[in-house]
Chains A and B, each alone.
Chain A
Amino acid sequence: MSQTRERVMSRDEMQAVLERVMRLKNADRLAASLSSSWTGNTRFAANQMSTSGSVENTQLGVTAWFENRRAGVSTNDFSDTGLEAAVRKAEALAKISPADPEDMPLLGPQTYQPVPAYFDRTATSTAEDRARAAMSALELARKAGDLETAGFLIVNAFSQAIANSAGLFAYHRTTGDTYTVTVRTKDGTGAGWAGADNADWAKLDFTKVAQRAIEKARASRNPVAIEPGRYTVILEAQAVGDLVQLLGGGFGGGPLSARSADEGRSPFTKEGGGNKIGEKVVDERVTLISDPQDPDLLGQPFDGEGFPLGRQAWIENGVLKKLAYTRFWAQKQGKQPTGSSSTIKLLGGATTQEEMVRSTDRGVLVTRLWYLRQVDPRTVLYTGLTRDGTFLIEGGKVSRAIKNFRFNESPLFMLNNLETLGPTERLAGAEGGGDIVMPPIKVRDFNFTSLSDAV
């Protein structure tokens, strides 16, 4: 694609398309969302270049209402006939859709606080730039002789606009740049992972990521088995994020959903009915927020309905302050709606990871977690495994590599067993994706239930 062209649609371009769509309305109400994306990616594995690609797409979603009957369609055909066909199809489906008793009126015009999340340096980066970045790991691994590396670099630019027939218009654009590297020792006994993520290409240090993955791989060679059980554990920020993001769970039906709690099917359901807002649910040093304006998070300042998103504290000083209310559920319960956030941040503390290790007589250091799946929604109990760098701490020092563990643990239990919090960082490669900022933490009684032979 030509470099003189913008990677994604501008506000004016999107507004023009959405106005065309709105003019096609025969329904009582119409809402449309437009997304424009470009991604460039480069993969490498087994010390080789693998697949690489560049993908552009523009996709339109249209929702039509007749009274409280509603249906949505999407298309990427932007011809006049394509747009008209999409609107007519949404309208035809809406007419025969059953009435939705929870239907809410469209939001009118809103005010959004802009988030400066688009960096030209990222949007204009090229396949050659990516190949050179990949060499940061490939060169080191090939030269070393005893190492094998696999990694992934993805760069993207994305813009989204929402409009509706009540006059709402929202636009946001963003860039992203994620680099992750795994290094394995050729004898098959060691594996290390590192990653970095930033909206700004210029702020990624590719070599630092590669070096960290190599250090982890070498240090994790020849792991020994130690008994599963309850351990004091230092979780690096990535591992904390892997578990804590599960509390957000998209906010719609996840643990922080007010409706799930009120309906009796959530960890925040109160015995006898109602929810636990106002109750202390975790250690008092825990504050969990969403905030698109946070300079580390840089999220979209509105949700899919165009609802403006600002800073929201879900848990503050250990107390459940807020649950996520849809507009319908808020109205029914007499509360304020929260919108649906896509950012999550656990506020940090001053203790560095090194200090956490020094203060630990016997414990486990965990780099990252893998394949987390819910086991019991009543407690947000998840199972999963450690991966790519699990170490024993003895006498205030990382003493040796140990075999990976399976755990059965809840982020709520874990945040109740908190010892210390470290400084926050933005995560790359979190299992659920999204904008996530977490600190490393030290906790006691983390529940490892079995050993894994996997390296």
Chain B
Amino acid sequence: MADRREFVKQAGVLGLALTVDPGHLVTWPVQNYVQGRTLRMDAVIRDLLMEALNAAKLAGASYADVRIGRQRQSSVQTREHQIVNVGDFETSGCGVRAVVDGCWGFAATPRLTKDGVARTAREAAAIAKANRLARDQRVELAAAQSYADASWRSDYTIDPWDISLEEKTDLLLRANAEALKVANVRFVNSGLSFVKDERNFASTDGSVIIQEFIRCQPSVNITAVASDFTDFQSRANIAPPAGRGWEYVKQVDLLANMGRWAEEAAAKLKAKSVDVGRYDLILHPSHLWLTIHESIGHSTELDRAMGYEANYAGTSFLAPPQKMLGAMKIGSELMNIRGDRSQKGAVSTIGYDDEGVQPDDFTIVKNGVLNDYQTTREQANWIKWWYDKQGTPTRSHGCSYAQNWSSVQFQRMPNVSLLPGEKAVSWDDLIAATENGIAIIGDGSFSIDQQRYNAQFGGQVFYEIKNGKVAGMLKDVAYQLRTPDFWSAMDLIGGAATYELHGALNDGKGQPGQSNAAGHGAVPARFRQQNVINTGRRR
């Protein structure tokens, strides 16, 4: 481990004292930071966190938090019988956020030295001070419990970094070969991506927290091409990402399932192009999660409802909160939506958020009526009147997140899930109950307006339902919806046995843009008389 003097010496030798510091004080992986299954923060990192907090306080910060993070990503990508890319990416550094005089400032640096983090803390405070001239109202944070020595690790049993590259590539190439056995299937891309993220956090409120999580994403895209080159069709998005380790890849079982997915791609070439019109839609959890995400997940972010994302991601139809909470009917009685960061294996699950709050489980939509928003410490105060009315404390739901050390934390989505119905209704029951419908499996094209009213969704596989039976495959299907009308049309919903976890690792929001994982649990459900369009126009 290099100390400050050594690092200056190295820099001198290289003639690089100017722009790039040659080294970190922290050498990853820090020794002994894992003792059995318990994470222990390294003393050097703790010192750096305290150094930055002290520097921020000396520079006038009334509140500051510091994150020292190390994020690793591993990726293997293939096509057909060959490798496309093998990579292992790593970034580490320190981000400091400070409130001075009621304004926010943030700065980040890769220089993990005492001087580097202290300078960055002063920079964060200086930016906050510079913003004073444009300040109107002061930033106020809701009270939060502090955690002096906390740790948390996500739920995984096999670390993907313990699996050899050979095993990963072998799995993908053998799976590709299975897909290519199917007639008309000419192309297949497959990949395995993993993220391993260590987050060390400290705040002037007294919290010191270390966390580590792993997320993984198997990906497959199979393309079938018509023999006369007049059509091509794909089957993709075969398995959701998960907040789990290599054991999840084994569970997805690419090898056993690849042939079936390839058959589906080829069958789409011969599928009937859909007739436009009104249909009852039966949406599988592998599809419905994305509709939940776009129409309910984003519209119930409190920063959006308050106009804080107006310049990019947009606002929300669920605004202003004082007219909406407890009053706005978004859907049918069957609609109950929960926010949490606690479901095992879900991609938004975490022990503590990026401002040190332990997230709670909360009800966003209760029997079809808006009940709460996703919040951070700054935002919880904005709807204090509602919590007072409910007799509950005004506290953050723990939705603060930054994509890594170099990004400022802000409100991001927890797991936002559609809860099962009380009756033991299955997927087959939904089909059997439907006279004229379309069943959709898998997520496809998605687009929604900046207030989350008007959306259009495609899918992966579409089946025509006639008189309670699957009548055949369809293609060129998309449906257009208006959020409250759509959710009000939900009249049948799966039971607890049909509940599945889905989600995405790349949800975009913010300026500068940040990518976030968003988990969604869902059951299958039926939506009456939805507007289906045909997307197969040729001119």
Contact = CB atoms under 8 A, between A and B. Distances in A.
17 contacts: A1-B123, A5-B18, A13-B15, A45-B307, A46-B306, A55-B109, A71-B88, A72-B86, A81-B23, A180-B311, A373-B447, A375-B478, A408-B535, A416-B539, A451-B454, A453-B451, A454-B314
B140 interface: no
B473 to A, nearest CB: 17
A101 interface: yes
B454 A453 contact: yes
B307 A148 contact: yes
Contacts of A127: 105, 126-127, 130-131
A39 B165 CA distance: 36
Nearest to B21: A78
Interface stretch (A112-120, A264-272, A333-341, A394-402): A264-272
B231 interface: yes
Contacts of B16: 13, 16-17
A238 B6 CA distance: 51
Given A154-B512, A184-B315, A375-B458, A272 B228 contact: yes
Report the interface size class on chain B.
35 or more
Given A78-B21, A379-B537, A453-B451, 20 more contacts: A1-B123, A16-B14, A45-B311, A46-B308, A48-B135, A48-B136, A54-B124, A96-B166, A97-B86, A126-B130, A130-B130, A135-B133, A154-B511, A181-B311, A184-B307, A370-B450, A371-B450, A408-B535, A449-B533, A454-B449
Interface string B417-454: 00000000000000000000000000001111111111
Interface in B206-237: 223, 225, 228-232, 234
Interface stretch (B49-57, B90-98, B256-264, B326-334): B90-98
A131 B131 CA distance: 6
A182 B2 CA distance: 48
B335 interface: no
Contacts of A93: 86, 88, 165
Contact of A49 (B2, B90, B134): B134
Contacts of B458: 375
Contacts of B537: 376, 379, 381, 408
A352 interface: no
Interface in B374-411: 406-408, 410
Interface string A4-30: 011111100100110010000000000
A77 interface: yes
Given A8-B19, A9-B19, A72-B87, A264 B10 contact: no
Given A81-B27, A82-B23, A454 B453 contact: yes
B130 A128 contact: yes
The 5 A-B residue pairs with the shortest CB-CB distance, nearest first, are A79-B23, A53-B106, A452-B454, A127-B130, A454-B451
Interface stretch (A56-64, A164-172, A301-309, A356-364): A56-64
Interface in B487-539: 511-512, 531, 533, 535-539
Nearest to B131: A49
Nearest to B129: A127
A408 B533 contact: yes
Given A51-B408, A404-B449, A131 B104 contact: no
Given A265-B232, A454-B454, A53 B83 contact: no
B169 interface: yes
A49 B135 CA distance: 6
B83 A98 contact: yes
Contacts of B24: 77, 79, 82
Interface of A: 1, 5-10, 13, 16-17, 20, 36, 39, 41-59, 70-82, 89-90, 93-94, 96-102, 126-128, 130-132, 134-135, 138, 142, 148, 150-152, 154, 180-182, 184, 188, 191, 193, 263-265, 269-273, 370-379, 381, 383-385, 387, 404, 406, 408, 413, 416, 449-455
Contacts of B157: none
A188 B320 CA distance: 10
Interface in B32-70: none
A58 B19 CA distance: 9
B76 to A, nearest CB: 9
Contacts of A377: 232, 234
B251 interface: no
B119 interface: yes
A73 B410 contact: no
A100 B453 CA distance: 47
B19 A77 contact: no
B456 interface: yes
A387 B535 contact: no
Nearest to A41: B512
B186 interface: yes
Contacts of B127: 52-54, 127
Contacts of B482: 453
Given A17-B20, A45-B311, A385 B454 contact: yes
B219 to A, nearest CB: 14
A413 B539 contact: yes
A36 B19 contact: yes
Nearest to B481: A450
Contacts of A152: 311-312, 511
A371 B225 contact: no
A454 to B, nearest CB: 4
Given A372-B447, A452-B453, A80 B22 contact: yes
B164 A455 contact: no
A387 to B, nearest CB: 6
Contacts of B449: 370-371, 385, 387, 404, 406, 452, 454
A176 B56 CA distance: 29
A9 to B, nearest CB: 5
B173 interface: yes
Select the residue from A49, A138, A265 with max chain B CB neighbours within 10 A: A49
Contacts of B450: 370-371, 385, 387, 454
B238 interface: no
Select the residue from B10, B173, B234, B454 with max chain A CB neighbours within 10 A: B454
Interface string B101-126: 00111111110000000010001101
Contacts of B119: 1
A202 B25 CA distance: 39
